[in-house]
Amino acid sequence: MKRHLASGALFALILSGCGSVDATLVTRPAGSTSFQGDRAELVAAGEALWNDNSLGEAGVACASCHVGGAQFKDTFTEPYPHRVAMAEKMSGLASIDAEQMVQFCMIVPMKGEPLAWDSRELAALAAYIDDVEQPNFATK
């Protein structure tokens, strides 16, 4: 799937250091807005993206790692924003929200580009995480 960059200049900073992700890549730029849409439609679109193995460059889907709540740690039961070990270690972020977590997994395990901050895809994946994956994990 081809998608445009939120910012070419920012993207040049990606993975500049081994094993690190520039925090600006996973931080919503000041003044940017989120895509607004019908919640149920966003959640449905998010589920399709979650299972789409062409979303990043690694040939895997979000679901490839996270099926049945796999790979999530206990932090995922806490309301966002919260600490996520991988984001703290690689970007120095003390806490992170759902859309930042989408961007983080897009860049690191999916080996792709971060989604545009105003994109329907980002809003859809964040909505799907909030409404489906997180409640399912919390009740496991």
Residues near ligand HEC (CB under 6 A) = 55, 60, 62, 64-66, 71-73, 75-76, 84-86, 101-102, 105-106, 109-110, 125, 129
Q: How many CB atoms lie within 10 A of CB 27?
A: 15
| Closest-approach residue to ligand HEC (CB) | 62
* 75 vs 119, beta carbon nearer ligand HEC: 75
Instruction: Decide whether 30 or 109 has the Cβ nearer to ligand HEC.
Output: 109
How near is the Cβ of 11 to ligand HEC at its closest, in Å? 17
Give the integer Cα–Cα distance in Å for 11 and 87.
17
Least distance from C-beta 121 to ligand HEC, angstroms? 9
Q: How many CB atoms lie within 10 A of CB 74?
A: 7
* CA–CA distance, 20 with 91 (Å, rounded to integer): 6
Of 93 and 110, the one with the shorter C-beta distance to ligand HEC is 110
Euclidean distance between CA atoms 75 and 78, whole angstroms = 6
Q: Which is nearer to ligand HEC, 43 or 101 (CB)?
A: 101
Tally of CB atoms within 10 A around 90? 20
Neighbours of 122 (CB within 10 A): 25
CB 18 to ligand HEC: min, Å: 18
